[in-house]
């Protein structure tokens, strides 16, 4: 078997209200009977406190993943991804969305499926103190604790027996939006 390495690179939204439009604005294109074609984008602005999201650790599978052997990193594992949310006021309420990849891209167009995501949320950088949050319940609305919040994220990869050897990468995105509360 040929081992290959995996890396999951985080991408964070440093802007306060992120490119909200890209996430939410539907790619809405319609054609009317008279032949007019339309498209839409979103305009957005934020009032009040600021929020920041920082990716602090990549999600990796610590060593090699083997063809034909599925491997899961739990949100509580040391190689899980980690994000820090900061903002003001210190108890500002955040609407948190996670945009995970469905596949990691590898050599010569090879793709590796990634699934079974998990999330653990905590108020400090101590991972063992985090509390699991049901992935299917996202987006998550949660207040900052003392002005911050930590997210740990895990997933599963299942390389096929014929999976090509090499490095497979993807982007995991967390978007935090101040709800105004």
Partner 1 sequence: MIKKLMMGAAVLVAATTAQAQTGTVNVSASVVTPITFTNVRDLTFTNVFPGQAARVVAASDAGSGGIRINGLTNAQVAVSAGTMSSTLTCASCTGTGPNSLTLNVDGAARINNASAAPTGAGSSAFTLATSASNTNLNASGQLWLYIGGSVAAAANQQAGAYTGSISLNVSYTGN
Partner 2 sequence: MLQTRFRFPPRTLCRSIGRRVRGGAAVFAIGGLTALSPSRGGAQSVALAARASVVAPLTVSPYWSLDFRTVTRNRRNTVPYNDVWSGAFSVSGLSGAQVAVSFALPTTLDRLGGGGAMPIGLWTGCHSATNSSGAGCATFTPSATAINLTLAGGTRFFFVGASVTPANSLPNGSYVGTITLQATYTGN
Contact set with partner 1 (CB under 8 A): 31-36
The correct pick among 5, 15, 99, 123 for binding partner 2 (CB under 8 A) is: 15
Shortest Cβ distance from residue 64 to partner 2 (Å)? 39
Phi-psi region of 23 (alpha: psi -120 to 50; beta: other; left: phi over 0): alpha
Q: Answer yes or no whether residue 50 interacts with partner 2 by CB under 8 A.
A: yes
Closest to partner 2 by CB, 31 vs 161, is 31
Q: How far apart are CA 109 and CA 62, in angstroms?
A: 23
Shortest Cβ distance from residue 3 to partner 1 (Å)? 45
Q: Answer yes or no whether residue 56 interacts with partner 2 by CB under 8 A.
A: no
Closest to partner 2 by CB, 39 vs 109, is 39
Tell me the two tokens of residue 78.
């040391």
Q: How far apart are CA 88 and CA 17, in angstroms?
A: 13
The residues near 38 (Cβ < 8 Å, ≥ 6 apart) are 28, 29, 30, 32
Shortest Cβ distance from residue 142 to partner 2 (Å)? 16
Count the neighbouring beta carbons within 10 Å of the beta carbon of residue 69. Answer: 14
Site residues (vs partner 2, CB under 8 A): 15-17, 19-22, 24-25, 27-29, 31, 34-50, 177-180
């Amino acid at each position: 078997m040929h081992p290959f390495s995996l890396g999951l690179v985080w991408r964070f939204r440093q802007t306060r209200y992120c490119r909200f439009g890209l996430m939410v604005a539907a790619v809405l294109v319609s054609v009317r009977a008279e032949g007019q074609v339309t498209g839409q984008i979103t305009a957005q602005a934020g009032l009040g406190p600021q929020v920041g999201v920082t990716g602090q650790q990549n999600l990796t599978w610590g060593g090699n993943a083997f063809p034909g052997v599925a491997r899961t990193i739990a949100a509580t594992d040391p190689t899980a991804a980690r994000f820090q949310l900061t903002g003001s006021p210190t108890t500002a309420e955040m609407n948190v969305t996670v945009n995970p990849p469905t596949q990691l891209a590898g050599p010569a167009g090879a793709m590796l499926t990634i699934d079974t995501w998990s999330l653990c949320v905590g108020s400090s950088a101590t991972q063992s103190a985090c509390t699991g949050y049901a992935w299917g319940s996202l987006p998550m609305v949660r207040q900052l604790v003392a002005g911050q919040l930590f997210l740990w994220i895990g997933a599963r990869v299942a390389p096929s027996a014929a999976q090509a050897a090499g490095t497979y990468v993807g982007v995991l995105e967390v978007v935090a939006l101040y709800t105004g509360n």
